[in-house]
Chains A and B, each alone.
Chain A
Amino acid sequence: MGKNLFNKVWDLHKVGTLDSGLDQLFIGLHLIHEVTSPQAFAMINERGLHVMYPERTFATVDHIVPTENQTRPFTDTLAEKMMEALELNTTEHGIPLYDLKSENQGIVHIIGPELGLTQPGMTIACGDSHTSTHGAFGSIAFGVGTSQIRDILATQTMAISRPKVRLIKISGSMPQGVYAKDVILRVIKDLGVKGGIGYAYEFGGTAITKLSMEERMTICNMSIEGGARVGYINPDETTYEYMKGRPFSPKEDNYKKAEDYWNSIKSDSDAIYDDVYSLNAEDLQPMVTWGINPGQSVEIGENMPLLRDLEQDDRETVEQAYNHMGFKEGSPIKGQEINVAFIGSCTNGRISDLRVAAEIAKGRKVDSHVRALVVPGSKHVAKQAEDEGLDKIFIEAGFQWRNAGCSMCLAMNSDKLKGRELSASSSNRNFIGRQGSPTGRTLLMSPAMVAAAAVSGKVVDARDLEGV
């Protein structure tokens, strides 16, 4: 019987089994940012340890960077302090840092793939749960906490238990106007926000193989919202094509050897899985969340659930969601008036996302009641968009065009919801308070749907807009 990619890559990186019974796993690529790393460096320094493989760790700044005025020192003194700490720590330990002066700066999960750091068959860790994004390349990538960042810095390994593997098989092809975001929101709705606990998700099937790398990243990115710490897709020609010519990709002379390795770690055709879940892409519709976790979503044409139709277990969270959102049970999501539109984040802040949104924004105007922001995921994305004139399209339509960063995805900079504002967001979390206002409200959807909502002033089916 064959082996799946997950177990192959795990075995190749397993150093041994610790007394605790956990595996010691070698980490091929470690990514760090300003929010979760300073305490880890402090612990290293306190114990007189050094960074074992500084050349395998890369740093960038994304979570707290202002997206408007980026002159230093930042007006936010706390943010400035965090920047200084990262600068000091990376210099002291010889770790490359892509800061605001670097053309490579951006959201950590966007720049890894962009620079060719993210490669098939690697283990990748970062102090951020959306590290699962990198699994799109056929790597095992997961988020870790600060104590584990300390361990990886000091030993390039970490203690972790091996999860089970669930194959999520998506057949058919996606209908026009349905995007990767809709696929993953559907999966999370079907399997639940706790469904993936203890599992790594392998996404496969014809619908997945037809996706571009950027779409694959969107899907793997949100695996964590379904409880799965890891999401991945087997590498193929699409992956190899994407990898070519990137700064850290294998050099041309060695490309053959690289491809041999990448092919060798793919899941065997008779690989065993602990569980299989199947879905047909033809049945998918654009999805919109209406509640306070990413599993609380409906198709654009559907109504929000009635409490009486729910299992007792779900009812409590749903009631809480209705309380917070102020929606009436059973009402349609379509037509809900929004105050803010946010296009960006590591889920949907890449060039293909901006292209789709610009297509809709072109020749239209953002509704006068809506504050709309486009925040490219990285400087490279921003530059590409500007080269294509997308920035002008957005600005003309009334969107604000910002600098790269996490921005309103978690609102650690000054981009925040105010009061009870309702935001249509292309990001990944609709948790209470996530977008910076404790009473703020978030509807998650694809970038196309956010752009459509921005120009309509309310939630609409993007497919109904003329010429889309």
Chain B
Amino acid sequence: MDTKNMKRESLSGRCIPVRGNDIDTDRIIPARYMKVVSFKGLGEFAFYDERFTSDGSLKSHSFNNDAYKGASVLLVNKNFGCGSSREHAPQALHRAGVTAVIGESFAEIFEGNCGAMGIPALTASPEVIEELMGKTEKHPGLEMEIDIRSAKINYNGVEYNISIPDSSRSSLLAGTWDSTASLLNSGSLISSRAENLPYINGFTK
């Protein structure tokens, strides 16, 4: 696989804050919009029930706010993406234009799903998140620079430290976040590992 175009060393974009702890995957994309055989087109359903009332009128939500149109760095609080394992959640965000998420913490499967899609899921302290959100709300036009290698972001001339698990960092930098190829590289190691498991042959050996 060509990993050159998949390298993620740095990225930049305007930010969009979605405040609140424990925002679960049902809120990120309601289950009724998961009746699809392709992820294409999921973007319009991101945060659907948070954005629209049952009669279709707009609620106040940053995804409805024109000031954030075109923003690509999602700012969130604690335990974002808890609940279901559905990759539909990060896929919906991604297809709504999100290329990086910065939060206080993430649910594990959600973080893993982002990793597998090449979307950096970065964490920062509650104080930093608050500051970033506050700045964005005041000046939605600001551009953020994210440097994956040094684990730093630059927002309006101020530098902040962020954390990223070593494994995600190295696979983003190497462009190997799409793991199928690296897994296949193990070749016969896979089958020899399998053969050593007594249940593989129904305990006949």
Determine the distance from Cα of A158 to Cα of B113 in the docked complex, in whole angstroms. 12
The verdict on A128 contacting chain B, using a C-beta distance below 8 Å, is yes
Determine the distance from Cα of A383 to Cα of B189 in the docked complex, in whole angstroms. 44
Task: Report yes or no: A193 in contact with B109, Cβ–Cβ below 8 A.
Answer: no
The verdict on B79 contacting chain A, using a C-beta distance below 8 Å, is yes
Point out the residues of chain B lying under 8 angstroms from A412, CB to CB.
31-32, 34-35
Minimal beta-carbon separation of A86 from chain B (angstroms): 9
Give chain A's interface residue range (CB within 8 Å of chain B): 35 or more
Task: Report yes or no: B82 in contact with A194, Cβ–Cβ below 8 A.
Answer: yes
Task: Report yes or no: A433 in contact with B27, Cβ–Cβ below 8 A.
Answer: yes
Determine the distance from Cα of A261 to Cα of B203 in the docked complex, in whole angstroms. 9
The verdict on A47 contacting chain B, using a C-beta distance below 8 Å, is yes
Determine the distance from Cα of A52 to Cα of B194 in the docked complex, in whole angstroms. 12
The verdict on A438 contacting chain B, using a C-beta distance below 8 Å, is yes
Task: Report yes or no: A20 in contact with B85, Cβ–Cβ below 8 A.
Answer: no
Minimal beta-carbon separation of B84 from chain A (angstroms): 5
Given A20-B167, A146-B87, A229-B109, verify A26-B197 contact (CB < 8 Å).
yes
The verdict on B171 contacting chain A, using a C-beta distance below 8 Å, is yes
Point out the residues of chain A lying under 8 angstroms from B83, CB to CB.
129, 429, 431
Determine the distance from Cα of A227 to Cα of B75 in the docked complex, in whole angstroms. 21
Residue of A nearest to B78 (CB): A194
Task: Report yes or no: A151 in contact with B79, Cβ–Cβ below 8 A.
Answer: no
Task: Report yes or no: B37 in contact with A159, Cβ–Cβ below 8 A.
Answer: no
Task: Report yes or no: B183 in contact with A158, Cβ–Cβ below 8 A.
Answer: yes
Please pick, from A12, A20, A431, A439, the residue contacting B182 in the complex, using a CB distance under 8 A.
Answer: A20
Point out the residues of chain A lying under 8 angstroms from B200, CB to CB.
28
Please pick, from A147, A161, A250, the residue contacting B178 in the complex, using a CB distance under 8 A.
Answer: A147
Task: Report yes or no: A157 in contact with B170, Cβ–Cβ below 8 A.
Answer: no
The verdict on B58 contacting chain A, using a C-beta distance below 8 Å, is no
Please pick, from A15, A160, A261, the residue contacting B189 in the complex, using a CB distance under 8 A.
Answer: A15
When each residue 76-104 of chain A gets 1 if its CB lies under 8 Å from chain B and 0 otherwise, what string results? 10110110010000000000000000000
Task: Report yes or no: A227 in contact with B180, Cβ–Cβ below 8 A.
Answer: no
Minimal beta-carbon separation of A92 from chain B (angstroms): 14
* B16-24, B135-143, B146-154 - the one binding chain A: B16-24
For window 154-189 of B, CB contacts with A under 8 Å fall at 165-168, 170-171, 174, 176-180, 182-184, 186, 189
The verdict on B60 contacting chain A, using a C-beta distance below 8 Å, is no
Between B84, B194, B196, the greatest number of chain A beta carbons within 10 A of the residue's beta carbon is seen for: B84
When each residue 6-25 of chain A gets 1 if its CB lies under 8 Å from chain B and 0 otherwise, what string results? 00000011111011111010
Known: A38-B37, A227-B82, A250-B203. 5 other contacts (CB 8 A): A42-B38, A78-B35, A79-B35, A129-B109, A193-B82
- The chain A residues found within 8 Å of chain B, CB to CB, are 12-16, 18-22, 24, 26, 28, 35-36, 38-39, 42, 47, 49, 52-53, 64, 76, 78-79, 81-82, 85, 119, 121-122, 127-129, 131, 143-148, 150-151, 154-161, 163, 193-194, 197-198, 227, 229, 250-251, 254-255, 257-258, 261, 293, 313, 316-317, 320, 410-412, 429, 431-434, 436, 438-439
A and B contact pairs by CB, cutoff 8 A, 19 listed: A15-B186, A16-B186, A20-B176, A22-B179, A36-B86, A36-B88, A39-B39, A53-B194, A119-B199, A122-B199, A129-B83, A145-B86, A154-B184, A155-B186, A158-B183, A197-B79, A317-B22, A429-B24, A433-B26
